Amino acid sequence: MAAIGAATTLRQAGAYYGRSLPRRAVLTVPSSDWKKLTKLPTFTNTDCVVLDLEDGVADTAKQTARENIFRYLNESASKINREICVRINSMSSNHINDDVKLLKDLSTLIDCLFVPKVDSIDEIKWLADRLGSNRQYNLVLYCESAQSLVDLRSILTSASNLFPLQGVVFGSDDFSADVGINGRYSLDAYELTYARQKLVTICRLFENAQPIDMVYINFKDLDGLKKQSEQGAAWGFTGKQVIHPQQVPIVQTAFSPSESSIIWAKELIQAYEKHEKEEGKGAFTFRGQTMVDKPLLRRARYILNMTR
């Protein structure tokens, strides 16, 4: 297959190549289902839609899924006003070579590559080598095993040297199975506290590596979704995986700056700039009680960047 058409993606337009825009709700759509692909333009409020070739697609439907992605992007990429993402199969699967061929055929139509089950530096290097000059994609990795979590800093260091690294997704179900959590984890996912917080901490060592939180499987339990989303946002995650469109507004609200935090950020930045100009010092007292220095300034700027 060879890509046809001349659609311009957001990456080509330079809208965010090399920097991260919000991926608050990351909606994964099984690419073997053509009907669901054709509904994508109706998901106007979703930050990020990922065309899936991996867990959401049966082994017997992998080729159909590739053909659907090829057809859909060639026919509709120019109509999509958001990041175009594809989740390939893992590097250890029997499907990866065919996935790489698809990526090369669609290299001008895909913005971001979601790569699951990354357990080693060697896998990142293998993918970069196979893609060759086509490795201009923004890259989001999945952490889904004990090995991946333990080696995550090294993996991200390698990935950031080979690709524009954009984020890390916590794959809770595969991780739980790998570390031996019996049955499903609880609704508040306390069994995964260490893994989730470590992932956020390591991501913060890399400028553009957004930590994206676990999926909330029970898509009908919107109250539980809201609670877990707000918890993830409080812990430092910047977004969350979703599996149903009705989850999107709840998740995106949870990971969006509140009106009060936006006002706080604007006032803090104005006060900081005024104080630095008049006093020549970086640290000062804000609103009579908060000692402001560079870390708080970075937080305020992050809030305004998210708002924009």
**H/E element holding 212?**
strand 210-213
Shared-domain flag, residues 146 and 221: yes
pLDDT in tens, 17-36: 334 678 999 999 999 999 99
Could you give the number of structural domains in the chain? 2
Q: Is the dihedral of CA 33, 57, 249, 219 positive or negative?
A: positive
Together in a domain, 101 and 173: yes
Do 216 and 94 lie in one domain? The reply is yes
More confident residue, 153 or 265: 153
Tell me which H or E stretch contains 67. helix 62-76
Domain contains 274? yes
Active site residue 213: no
121 falls in which pLDDT band (50, 70, 90)? very high
For residue 42, the Cα-to-chain-centroid distance in whole angstroms is 21
Q: Is residue 3 part of a domain?
A: no
* The token pair that represents 129 in the structure block: 């080598």
Residue 257 to residue 30: CA distance in whole angstroms = 30
For the record, the structure tokens of 38 come out as 């054709």
- 83, part of any domain: yes
- 144 labelled binding-site residue: yes
Q: Is the pLDDT of residue 163 over 70?
A: yes
pLDDT at 84 over 50: yes
If asked whether residues 167 and 269 sit together in one domain, one would say no
213 and 170 together in one domain: yes
Query: Do residues 30 and 142 both lie within one domain?
Result: yes
Choose the weakest-confidence range: 42-46, 71-75, 101-105, 242-246: 42-46
Residue 201 Cα distances to 114, 150, 152, 196, angstroms: 20, 13, 11, 9
**87 annotated to a ligand binding site:** yes
Q: Which of 59, 129, 188, 293 is catalytic?
A: 293
251 with 264, same domain?
no
**How do strand 138-143 and strand 112-115 relate by DSSP bridges?**
parallel
Per-residue pLDDT tens for 96-118? 999 999 999 998 888 899 999 99
54 domain-assigned:
yes
Residue 76: which CATH number? Answer: 3.20.20.60
Question: Cα torsion at 260, 262, 264, 267 (round to 10°)?
Answer: -140
Residue 272 lies in a domain: yes
Residue 19 lies in a domain: no
- Based on the fold, state whether residues 115 and 242 are members of the same structural domain: yes
Task: Please say if the pLDDT value at position 219 is more than 70.
Answer: yes
- The pLDDT of residue 159 is above 70: yes
Mean pLDDT of 53-79: 93
What is residue 44's predicted lDDT score, i.e. its pLDDT? 60
Please say if the pLDDT value at position 276 is more than 60.
Answer: yes
pLDDT > 70 fraction of the chain, expressed in percent and rounded: 89
pLDDT at residue 119 tops 90 = yes
Give 77's pLDDT tier (boundaries 50, 70, 90). Answer: confident
Mean pLDDT of 190-206: 96
User: Are residues 227 and 282 both part of a single domain?
Assistant: no
Domain ends where: 256, 277, 298? 256
User: What is the model's pLDDT at position 13?
Assistant: 39
**Of the residues 219, 237, 256, the one at which a domain ends:** 256
- Asked if 285 and 204 sit in the same domain, the reply is no
Residue type, 267: E
Where residue 195 falls among pLDDT bands split at 50, 70, 90?
very high
Domain assignment present for residue 7? The answer is: no
Strands 83-87 and 284-286: unpaired
Domain of 251, in residue numbers: 25-256
Do 174 and 269 share a structural domain?
no
279 is in an annotated binding site: no
Please give the pLDDT value at position 153. 98
Give the mean model confidence (pLDDT) for residues 210-219. 95
Same domain, 235 and 122: yes
Identify whether 13 is part of a domain. no
- Nearest-CA neighbor of 250 among 222, 220, 221? 222
